Structure 1
Amino acid sequence: MKLVRSLDIPPVWLLAALAFAWVQSTRWTYGLSFGPVWADLLGGLLVGGGVVLTALAVMEMRRHQTTIHPHNDSARLVQSGIFKRSRNPIYLADVMILAGFILYWDAVLALPLVPVFLWILEKRFVIPEENRLRKTFRMDFARYCEKVRRWV
């Protein structure tokens, strides 16, 4: 059971969604396409932006010496850096990376994975994590929620 819990992290869910999108793009295209160059460009920008966003968030969390693991309790409420713009920049980055690869791979039929993946992240990670932060940091977290939106 501990192994299952240790595998229940956003990168594993992202890899599963990416694997499905890649298989769809290589096996079941049904002649559908986003178009020539624009999808590759936008896909690359989304993936690159997602990687940068993740790096910024991880560096900020490391600077504040708190965990990035979604099931662990946070030692501090990080409100600086990229966390001034989004309460969940790493999850947002995961969604951007998935959408970017779907565009780049021309996986048209995998596009519905983006909102499904967002829903999974929100239900499995964001809401429980925010509930823990709400219990731990009370008024500080309430003020933070008033200032900063959940996603963007």
Structure 2
Amino acid sequence: MKWIDIPPAWLALCLGLAWWQAVHYPMGLSFGGALADFLGGLLVGAGLVLMALAVHEMRRQRTTIIPHREADALVQTGIFSRTRNPIYLGDALILLGCILYWDAVLALPLVPVFVWWIERHFIIPEENRLRRQFRADFARYCQKTRRWV
């Protein structure tokens, strides 16, 4: 069951809940049509770009993108010089963008819940492993680069 405990599975669950809410319980609420669709599309696109940049940088540095594995390198270049967690940030942007696009107003609280869960369940354990493995380098990285944005 551990194989399913990965961020894309949690994102898929939240996306499924948001879509379900939009289809089955819209309750007459709306973000506002074309503008919400446009903004939603921009957010999804930005999330995908962030994720692609992060994966490219991690591959370039020859380290894993799997959250529960030990890193072979502390990636601090590229998009990682702006945010320590560009893939998770991308996930959150995709979730928010889809909620806007689907007009899933009541699903909006899923975004902070998702961010909280990802931080507690993935980011903090990852950072603890990196802290043990890279010590001073990771401490300096944390001082100059924020966790989210």
Instruction: Give the TM-score taking structure 1 as reference length.
Output: 0.97
The superposition leaves residues 33-89 of structure 1 with CA deviations (integer Å, 9 ceiling, x where unpaired) of 011211101100000000010000000000000000000000000000000000000
For residues 35 and 46 of structure 1, the distance between their equivalents in structure 2, rounded to whole angstroms, comes to: 16
* CA distance in 2: counterparts of 1:142 and 1:34, whole angstroms: 41
- CA-atom RMSD in angstroms: 0.4
Give, in whole Å, the separation in 1 of the partners of 2:148 and 2:2: 25
**Which residue of the partner structure matches residue 23 of structure 2?**
26
Q: Point out 4+ residue stretches in structure 1 off by more than 4 angstroms.
A: none
Residue 137 of structure 2 corresponds to residue 150 of structure 1:
no
Stretch moving more, 33-42 or 7-16: 33-42
Q: 1:43 corresponds to which letter in structure 2?
A: G
Rounded to whole Å, the distance in 1 between the matches of 2:32 and 2:60 is: 42
Q: Give the counterpart letter for 2:40 in structure 1.
A: G
Q: Provide the TM-score with structure 2 as the length reference.
A: 0.99
CA distance in 2, matches of 1:102, 1:23: 11
Matches of 2:98 and 2:24, distance apart in 1: 16
The count of aligned residue pairs is 149
Show the counterpart of 2:61. Answer: 64
Partner residue, 2:81: 84
Between the aligned partners of 1:59 and 1:106, the Cα distance in structure 2 is 32
- What secondary structure, in the 3-state scheme, does the structure 1 residue paired with 2:127 have? helix
* 1:89-130 deviation digits (Å, cap 9, x = unpaired): 000000000000000000000000000000010010000000
> Which stretches in structure 2 are left out of the alignment for 5+ residues?
none
AA at the equivalent of 1:15:
A
Distance 1:141 1:13 in 2: 27
Larger deviation, residues 34-43 vs 49-58: 34-43
Which residue is 1:40 aligned to? 37
Q: Distance in 1 between matches of 2:136 and 2:4?
A: 32
Match of 2:103 in 1: 106
Partner of 2:114: 117
Unaligned runs of 5+ in 1: none
